[in-house]
Amino acid sequence: MDQDMVVVARVRLLSANRRVVRGTEGLWIYRLLTEVEPEVYGSKLAYVLVEAGRSPLVSELPERRLALFEEAVAVAAALDVANPYRAKVLKRALAARQRDLEGRPAS
């Protein structure tokens, strides 16, 4: 793990001054920081992955959309069962993936 990139990600996270950083920047930050501290950042990564899967940018890319939902499920499921956010983000990720597989709009 490149420690300089971890520092850059932490600085961007702190400078964002938001509870959750969204979009491609959020994906980059949380993917990187989840590798270092999965229990701290994994729930936010799963949340942002589901948001990305619902984005108009991937509405016409079913394989990419499903990959985002699958990644969200995997990240959420990997969280410790004692993690207070695990159940909520896992339920959200599973529901988004299921809706996508059934061809329903992701709400």
The H or E element that residue 74 is part of is helix 62-78
Residues 42, 79 contacting (CB under 8 angstroms): yes
Hey, what are 78's tokens? Answer: 């990997």
pLDDT in tens, 28-74: 999 999 999 999 999 999 999 999 999 999 988 999 999 999 999 99
**pTM for the structure as a whole:** 0.90
pLDDT band at 105, cuts 50/70/90?
A: low
Amino acid at 68: L
CA distance 84 to 82: 6
Domain ranges of the chain: 3-101
pLDDT in tens, 70-92: 999 999 999 999 999 999 999 99
CA distance 79 to 30: 14
Hey, what are 36's tokens? Answer: 């270092």
